[in-house]
Amino acid sequence: MVNMALKSEHTPQRYFRQMKAVTALAPKYRAMSDDQLKAQTAHFRQQLAAGQSLNTLKIPAFAVAREADRRVLGLFPFDVQVIGALVMQDGNVAEMKTGEGKTLTATLPMYLNGLTGSGNFLVTANEYLAYRDAKKMGKVYRWLGLTAVAGVPPTGGDPHDRDLQRIYKADIVYTTNSTLGFDYLMDNLAGTTQDRFLQGFHFALLDEIDAVLLDSAQMPLIISGAPRVRSNLFGIADQVIRLLKLDVDFERSSDHKKVWFTPAGITHMSEYLGLTGLLTEKHRTLYQHLVLALKAHQTLTRDRDYVVDDDGISLLDLSNGRKLAGMKLEAGLHQALEAKEQVPVSTQTRTMASITFQNLFRMFSHLSGMTGTAMTDAAELQETYRLSVIPVPTNKPSQRIDRPDQLFMTTDTKLEHAVALVKQAHDKGRPVLIETGSVSLSNLFSRILLRDEIPHNLLNARSAAKEALIVKEAGQLGAVTVATSMAGRGTDISLGPGVKELGGLLVVGTERMNSARVDNQLRGRSGRQGAPGETIFLVSIEDSILLEHGPKWLRKYRRQLAKNEAPAHPSWITRHRFKHLITQAQHNAEREDRQSRNQTLQYAEIMRVQRDTIYATRQTIMTQPDLTPLLTSVFKMATNAFLRDHPEPTRNVLADYVLNTIDNQLVIADVIDQQWTPQSQQTAKFLRRLMVDQLQKKFKNINEDQQVYFERMCLLKSLDNAWIDQVDMLQQLRQIATNRSTAQHDPLLEYLKDGRRSFANMKRAFAHQAVQNLLLSEFNFKADGTIDVTYP
């Protein structure tokens, strides 16, 4: 729409001035004793209590934290790190080159915001980093008198063992985006105020902000529970699909992401299965399973999109090569995949609660971030989160040499060349990091190296447990490390003795990723903190990025090449036509990602409003001392819902409703006259009176505290159940709406309308269930005065 100048190429001057002010205070705090320095925290907190703003405390607090860093860690933040901290405190994204010590930089704003009490988070995309930094940097905050903890369990630990109350009471929490998101959702499933643990969201500093907000933004976080009806068709469908042939029974789109049956395929399948009318409503479920099986076979590749191990099937995050813990493909695709890989088929579950990262982080009043590679996406960060990206100058100029890409005709020649490069460097003893596009490619490369007798480490989603160890060795003399894109983030490879003289770490990429940002992250593994280093990418026209996003003519070109069976090109291609291929393909891919993120955002907004309403209502139910007005309202809603379905109920229908929702032991003849004539007005009044009477009858033997507690539980339980259905519904409505764009309907508007309609349905379901819970629950009085409640 409106293009603004979003990129500022230089750091604004005011940050230099502020940095000088911080530096000027250094001698003052250097002269203080440890105790005097520690006392500053209490001093700052007093000032805050007296109404001072964080902004006025910024300069001295940064100076104090800086001095504490020096005394506790032995690291005194450089001037550029102070600039980075100042940039972030202003609610911006600081772009700092990798290896400039972002972890240390973060201590300054985290300390300042930690002074305000709980609700301050340092968020990374990686549990291992969160735990490590909480341990290492936490020392500084604790030394200064703040509480700082890790929000994640130690590697291999059980997330359920965490003491949530203690964690979220802390001033500063180091955590990951998904941990925080899941905890937020769980917090809002709590039954009583005592069970809630979140203390509000005040400040979030996002490490690798582009990974958190952009790379993982397309998929919402989902808590699933409540199993669906189990299906036994996955196995049959899988067997049928194995019999089908490409281009006869089904066709694929050129990017291999979409696949569909041809009419011939449908005929064949009908024959195999011995039925007619596969596309009719009768065989809907079967056809659904066939579609799922086809997708599982044709669009998902083992060791690229997922890995199979003892735990069954784990999805891989394409942008960082890690396992997506706990994530499953939706709508039965995961089960179809399990059938394909012949592992036990798990049960399908329903979505119970869901939130996108965008919505999660928009709840923070103060958001900022740091990253090595955000400039390429500055515009999107500005539009979506109102965050400006500001570059921070480097402490030492980079000595890294980035060689231009080398393009090959075939994957074979490319890999041969890569092996030659590795050999060459390895003979000299120079450490090499080889990045491959998928788990299977990394295995392949590892085998090639074994054949050539080059010792090496293999880092991929399967060996993630040894990650820290492998990374530690990667910078040593003679080390060769084969990795997936997993190596790209947060792995600080420090060089061993003698490596600098050989030219530092050599990074060889064997494939360009879908985003230039991910490539740059990999480059950033080399040449850290002014050390020498070298990077090169080897690509071929058979790479998946070009298959999926390359131009049409390239497809034809490849086909011709295959037909001619020309001898493989001896060396790389430098022809002009091929020069911008990769960049262009990356642009295409990034555009698609961006559009899909934007869509996610717009649709999520509609769900957010509903979720906020529900969570606010839960809060009211939990805190309100007298719930009578709410109960009156619920009775009214339930009655209206009944009358909506039965505007003029007959005596039988009415009796049925009374027995099933209000009192199952009532003698109908006592309350409903034989000559009863249906009249809405009176029916409503009659039903409501019946409900109020029944509730009073129930509460006869119960004290007031127990009454309120029971009412509260009934309302919450019903609301949660209704909301779970609604979340599931919204998830699906979104899909339905997108196809309505035909009749000049705006899909977003359609989604909004459908969403509102189902919200109204949800309210009726809630009211009905709440009345049932309140009136039909059975009490079992125990000797110690407590009561066991059995819900209907």
Partner 1 sequence: MHRYREFLTSLGWTVLILAVFVTGQTIPLPNLDVSTAQDAISHVTFLRLFANVTGSDFSNQTLFSVGMGPFMSAMIIWQAVQAVGDEAISHLSPHQVSLGKYGITLVLAIAQSFQVVYLVRGSLDTFYFPGTQINIVFISTIIILVAGAMFVAWLANLNAAIGIGSSVALIIPGIVRGIPGNLINGFGDTEDVPLKITATTLTAAIIIGAIFLVLSVITNAAELRLPIERPMLDQEHSDSYLPIKVLTSAGMPFMFSSSLFMLPRYFVNQTVGPTTPLQHAIVTWFSYRTPQGILVYALVLILLNYAFGYINLQPSRQAKTLRESDDYLIGVPAGDATEAVIMHHFNLLTFISNFLILLVGVGPLIVGLWYPAAVNYSLYLGSVLILAGMVGGVADQIKGLINKNRYQIFD
Residues near partner 1 (CB under 8 A) are 1, 228, 253, 258, 260-263, 266, 277, 279-281, 284-285, 287-288, 291-292, 295, 331, 333, 587-588, 591, 595, 606, 609-610, 613-614, 617, 630, 633-634, 636-637, 640, 719, 729, 732-733, 735-736, 738-740, 742-746, 749, 752-753, 756, 759, 763, 766
As measured in angstroms, the least distance from the Cβ of 249 to partner 1 is 12
As measured in angstroms, the least distance from the Cβ of 259 to partner 1 is 9
Q: Which CB sits closer to partner 1, 454 or 585?
A: 585
Burial of 495 (0-12, 13-18, 19+ CB in 10 A): buried
Q: How many angstroms separate the CA atoms of 589 and 249, rounded?
A: 29
Q: Which CB sits closer to partner 1, 203 or 766?
A: 766
Sign of the dihedral through C-alpha 294, 297, 301, 302? positive
What single-letter amino acid sits at 316? L
Candidates 26, 134, 148; CA nearest to 79 is 26
As measured in angstroms, the least distance from the Cβ of 268 to partner 1 is 12
DSSP 195-229: G-------EEEEETHHIIIIIT-SSPEEEEEEEPP
As measured in angstroms, the least distance from the Cβ of 29 to partner 1 is 46
Q: Which CB sits closer to partner 1, 305 or 402?
A: 305
Q: Which CB sits closer to partner 1, 191 or 551?
A: 551
As measured in angstroms, the least distance from the Cβ of 771 to partner 1 is 13
Q: Which CB sits closer to partner 1, 484 or 610?
A: 610
As measured in angstroms, the least distance from the Cβ of 712 to partner 1 is 14
Q: Which CB sits closer to partner 1, 103 or 514?
A: 514
As measured in angstroms, the least distance from the Cβ of 19 to partner 1 is 38
Q: Which CB sits closer to partner 1, 202 or 763?
A: 763
Q: How many angstroms separate the CA atoms of 2 and 509, rounded?
A: 37
As measured in angstroms, the least distance from the Cβ of 271 to partner 1 is 15
As measured in angstroms, the least distance from the Cβ of 582 to partner 1 is 17
As measured in angstroms, the least distance from the Cβ of 769 to partner 1 is 13
Tell me, rounded to whole angstroms, the distance of Cα 217 from its chain centroid. Answer: 6
Q: What is the 3-state secondary structure (H, E, C) of 247-311?
A: CCCEEECCCCCCEEECHHHHHHHHHHHCCCCCCCHHHHHHHHHHHHHHHHHHCCCECCCEEEECC
Q: Which CB sits closer to partner 1, 411 or 617?
A: 617
Q: Which CB sits closer to partner 1, 278 or 653?
A: 278
φ/ψ (deg, to 5) at 789: -110, 130
State how far the alpha carbon of 577 is from the alpha carbons of 405, 567, 574, 691, in Å. Answer: 14, 20, 8, 79
Q: Which CB sits closer to partner 1, 667 or 743?
A: 743
φ/ψ (deg, to 5) at 318: -65, -25
DSSP 433-455: EEE-SSHHHHHHHHHHHHHTT--
Helix segments in 31-93, DSSP class H: 34-49, 54-73, 79-89
As measured in angstroms, the least distance from the Cβ of 81 to partner 1 is 37
What count of Cα atoms within 13 Å lies in the side-chain half-sphere of residue 62? Answer: 29
Q: Are 176 and 152 in contact (CB under 8 A)?
A: yes
As measured in angstroms, the least distance from the Cβ of 761 to partner 1 is 11
State how far the alpha carbon of 242 is from the alpha carbons of 269, 300, 360, 679, in Å. Answer: 11, 15, 42, 62
Strands 457-459 and 532-540: unpaired
Q: How many angstroms separate the CA atoms of 581 and 192, rounded?
A: 58
C-beta atoms surrounding 155 within 10 Å: 13
Q: Are 361 and 204 in contact (CB under 8 A)?
A: yes
Q: Is 218 left (phi over 0), alpha (psi -120 to 50) or beta?
A: alpha
Q: How many angstroms separate the CA atoms of 404 and 444, rounded?
A: 25
State how far the alpha carbon of 603 is from the alpha carbons of 187, 383, 597, in Å. Answer: 23, 16, 10
Q: Which CB sits closer to partner 1, 284 or 447?
A: 284
Q: Which CB sits closer to partner 1, 262 or 440?
A: 262
Q: Are 207 and 370 in contact (CB under 8 A)?
A: yes
As measured in angstroms, the least distance from the Cβ of 583 to partner 1 is 13
Q: Which CB sits closer to partner 1, 307 or 336?
A: 336
Q: Are 386 and 763 in contact (CB under 8 A)?
A: no
Q: Which CB sits closer to partner 1, 537 or 751?
A: 751
As measured in angstroms, the least distance from the Cβ of 766 to partner 1 is 7
State how far the alpha carbon of 72 is from the alpha carbons of 66, 104, 172, in Å. Answer: 10, 12, 17
As measured in angstroms, the least distance from the Cβ of 6 to partner 1 is 15
Question: How many degrees, rounded to 5, is the angle at CA 416 between CA 410 and CA 419?
Answer: 140
Q: Which CB sits closer to partner 1, 173 or 730?
A: 730
As measured in angstroms, the least distance from the Cβ of 532 to partner 1 is 38
